Amino acid sequence: MTIPLVLPGDFFAVEGTGWVSRAIIQVCKHYAMDGQADKSHAGIFISSEGSTFESLRRIQRSHIKAYEGKTIIIGRYLGMTPQMANAAIAQLLDDYEGVVYPYWRLAFHLARMAQWVGTGDYLVCSELVAKMLKLVGALSTFTGYTPDHINDIIVRWRTMQIVYCGRWSSCLLTQPNAGYIPDRRHWER
């Protein structure tokens, strides 16, 4: 039996290359407890075929193939059942699909105030992932999270599994058991 690499409810943090991505990484590095950050975007898998739900220019469906060749880490919350994942995804799609990207919230992140300022219906990419993790019981709040937080949650939390870490190639979606990582210590900083 072939096990798909990704499942609905898995989530990721990925590097970016544009000036906005570089700015996000610098802000994350400045505030990171470990002083390290290399991810500038995060998203959620909504299918095993690589469909994603992300906060881009709008909160919208996309596909992981957009990150071909980029450094990515994919995580899975071990306490999440398929039913929990599907219910959380359905709620997020219903509540947020089509909502515009809240560029103004980046100023709150820069000032380290994002966790105290309500989002309304506007979530940056990492808050969208955190909202899903809140809906399935992994987090108690979702505001103020950055792509570096999502990366660190995947790497450091015992309730998370690293599904994949490395340069992304969409052919991994069709390779049997492509994401097997025998020892998570290899990925800790």
Rama region for 24: left / alpha / beta (φ>0; ψ in -120 to 50; rest): alpha
Tell me what pLDDT residue 117 has. Answer: 64
Quickly state the pLDDT bin for 179 (edges 50, 70, 90).
Answer: low
Tell me what pLDDT residue 170 has. Answer: 87
C-alpha dihedral over 42, 45, 46, 51, to 10 degrees? 100
The H or E element containing residue 25 is helix 19-31
Report the C-alpha gap between 18 and 32 in whole angstroms.
21
pLDDT tens track for 120-134: 677 888 899 999 999
pTM for the structure as a whole: 0.85
Tell me what pLDDT residue 163 has. Answer: 93
